[in-house]
Amino acid sequence: MEYRREIDGLRALAVVPVMLFHAGLQSFSGGYVGVDIFFVISGYLITKIILPEWQAGMFTLARFYERRARRILPALYVMMAACLPFAWLWLSPADMNSFSHSIVATSAFLSNVLFWLQSGYFEPSAELKPLLHTWSLAVEEQYYLIFPLLLVLFMRLGRRWAATLFAGIALMSLAAAQWGSAVYPAATFYLLPTRMWELLIGVLVALHSSADHRHEPHPLLRELAGTLGLSLIACAVFTFDKETPSLGLYTLLPTVGTALIIRFATPETLVGKLLGHRLLSGLGLLSYSAYLWHQPILAFARHRGLGEPSQLVFGALAVSAFAPAYVSWKYVETPFRNRRLFGRREIRISLMFGSAVFVGFGLASALTGGFEGRLGQEQREFLAYFENDLPDWHYYMKIQLPERYRNQCNFYDVAKYRLGAQTQLPVETIAPECFQRSDQAKRRVFIWGDSHAQQLYYGLRHALPDDWQILQVATSGCVARSDATPNKQSYCEFSNWFAFSKIVEDKPDVVIVGQDAGHNVARMNDITRRLLAAGVKKIIFTGPNPHWTTDLPKIVAYRLWGNIPRRTFIGVDRGIMALDDTLKSALVQSASVRLVSVIDYFCNGAGCLVYHGDDVRQGITSWDYAHLTPVASDHFARDVLANNVMDGFD
């Protein structure tokens, strides 16, 4: 197959946004589409490799799978082996168990199935999984099991029939992805049937470009199509975000953009020259190894709990993956692809040995509770107290969190989430007491937002007088917006529409708007304008909670154990503290509009509060990266929030 430098440049265009997205750089909010670009490239290249061999009567499955093994497995296994000592040093027993499961699943190319069953891609906990990114490798390898057979079978009917059949399969896969992104988003994101259409776009481009044509595309058409393709990719990278449906029609932007570049951007075109530049094509050569290394670097950095994380720090960490990537490409990828250096027997023995090591490690971890003997007995008991894996939710159930934070007022389908069947569809209804006013109440406060709004209920319930009614529509993961529509395909959209409608209808005395860390002053001003116009007397926005670079109990057990301070800056996310300062200076406040800083309450010059009272386990302020525990909610409401709610009312 003829080498095309511009495709290596396209690989660089795919891998860098993915890396920077995982690093948390907001400018690359849609960087995850780099994986979609990779899928199209893979579909194209595999077809261009198989087709000439089949036409020449030289294609065999054994040779094909040997090439795939040489390309994928050595670098993958070296990266996994390098993760083991860091996992041993820095992962809690529960995290070690999760990591061990993923290392076994990755060896079997089933990690996409494992991560689908474990959690959602965009959940904070996903950032802590060192092997999360291997889901895409699993999808490709599963695809390789069936595609060569289909290609050979369909090509016997002729190129046109093959293209028609693959197009039909791609359309069915795309339709399933469009439907599933709303109903079962996690399964749709991770599994092959709803990803196959992206690979098949590459296949169709390969079939089309391999056909005999009388006329090649006009140079002007090449220029325009290549430029359009690059523009579509850029649009997706810089405008998509975590709220954009992760698969379906939206994903046509980066995938069709990639197809246009592959088909039309030759070295003679502007886009072809750009992508074929020595820098981009060089980065493209390292793209596979860079993709392998970036996620473990970022995940272990988060587990370690860097003291002052920032987008700059994590961006630098992500880019630093190119250093081990170069070593991997030069001393692992390249040699193992050379049959003279490593024959078929050597490849088979080395890969079997590697698989045996990883499976053995996983089994040993399972038998020893995540090698829990690495920690002292008290540390193990402390971490075990906060164990909260699905579907049991031991910690939540133990402290009665669903009741204390009023899950009955949540439009997110928590029951399906716990069973591993996440959906974008809202629950049919929430409890009437969440939104129906009581005529016996003298005053009413309405809590609106996401899980960081839910956490306010427990403390307010104890801190407000009995004649105050607390209404609440707070849905997990949903930033409050006043312009939502009654869209029953999106639980966030529907929840915000429902909440705003009930506020306008009831006109509570006070509305509290709470959320995680995606505060936007323009959106907050829009909410203020609309609520005041609707007759609401006071609006209180709560700023972000103190954020920790990993779960606070893990920071206590690994970084603070032995002399646990009341306050610390170890593991505190200074970027969130800077966001809070920005909000306090940017939001115009008045008697009707207030910003209550959660950070000002929990943090001072000595650090952020680790625990209340005398018992760290019972008094810890957060069980994860940021959510307040009921104890912390109670203190915050009694000392700060309730007074702000009642101020100005008799």
Q: Specify the DSSP class assigned to residue 621.
A: S
3-state helix/strand/coil string of 392-414:
CCHHHHHCCHHHHCCHHHCCCCH
Judged by average pLDDT, the poorest of 121-125, 460-464, 489-493 is: 121-125
Judged by average pLDDT, the poorest of 298-312, 366-380, 412-426, 610-624 is: 298-312
Q: What is the pLDDT of residue 121?
A: 43
Question: What pLDDT, in 10s, does the model give residues 597-631?
Answer: 999 999 999 999 999 999 999 999 999 999 999 99
Order of strands, edge to edge, in the sheet holding 443-449?
A: 468-474, 443-449, 510-514, 538-542, 593-596
Report for 117-121, 132-136, 212-216: range of highest mean pLDDT: 132-136
Q: What is the pLDDT of residue 596?
A: 96
Place of tokens 């590697």: 354
Q: What is the pLDDT of residue 108?
A: 92
Q: What is the pLDDT of residue 142?
A: 96
Question: What pLDDT, in 10s, does the model give residues 464-484?
Answer: 999 999 999 999 999 999 999
All residues at 6 or more sequence positions from 141 whose CB lies less than 8 Å from its CB, including other chains: 68, 72, 109
Q: What are phi and psi of 296, to 5 degrees?
A: -60, -40
- Reading the block at residue 608, the tokens are 């952020």
Tell me the domains of the chain and their CATH numbers. Answer: 5-363 (no CATH), 394-646 (3.40.50)
Question: What pLDDT, in 10s, does the model give residues 134-144?
Answer: 999 999 999 99
Q: Is 598 exposed, middle or buried (0-12, 13-18, 19+ CB in 10 A)?
A: buried
- Is the model's pLDDT at 216 over the cut of 90? no
- Is the model's pLDDT at 310 over the cut of 70? no
- Is the model's pLDDT at 213 over the cut of 70? no
Count CB atoms within 10 A of the CB of residue 591: 9
DSSP H stretches of helix in 184-214 = 185-190, 196-210
CA neighbor of 258 nearest in space, from 231, 229, 217: 229
Q: Specify the DSSP class assigned to residue 31.
A: G
What's the residue count for the chain? Answer: 650
**CA separation for the pair 413, 404 (Å, rounded):** 18
Question: What pLDDT, in 10s, does the model give residues 380-421?
Answer: 999 999 988 878 899 999 999 999 999 999 999 998 888 877
Query: Which residues partner with 620 through β-bridges?
Result: 611
Q: What is the pLDDT of residue 122?
A: 45
Task: Over range 211-237, report the average pLDDT.
Answer: 85
Q: State the average pLDDT for the chain.
A: 91
pLDDT band at 568; cut points 50, 70, 90: very high
Q: What is the pLDDT of residue 556?
A: 94
Task: Over range 512-531, report the average pLDDT.
Answer: 92
- Reading the block at residue 218, the tokens are 């006009």
Question: What pLDDT, in 10s, does the model give residues 122-164?
Answer: 455 678 899 999 999 999 999 999 999 999 999 999 889 999 9
Q: Which one is predicted more confidently, 496 or 215?
A: 496
Q: What whole-number percentage of the chain has pLDDT above 90?
A: 70
Q: What is the pLDDT of residue 307?
A: 46
Judged by average pLDDT, the poorest of 235-249, 254-268, 446-460 is: 235-249
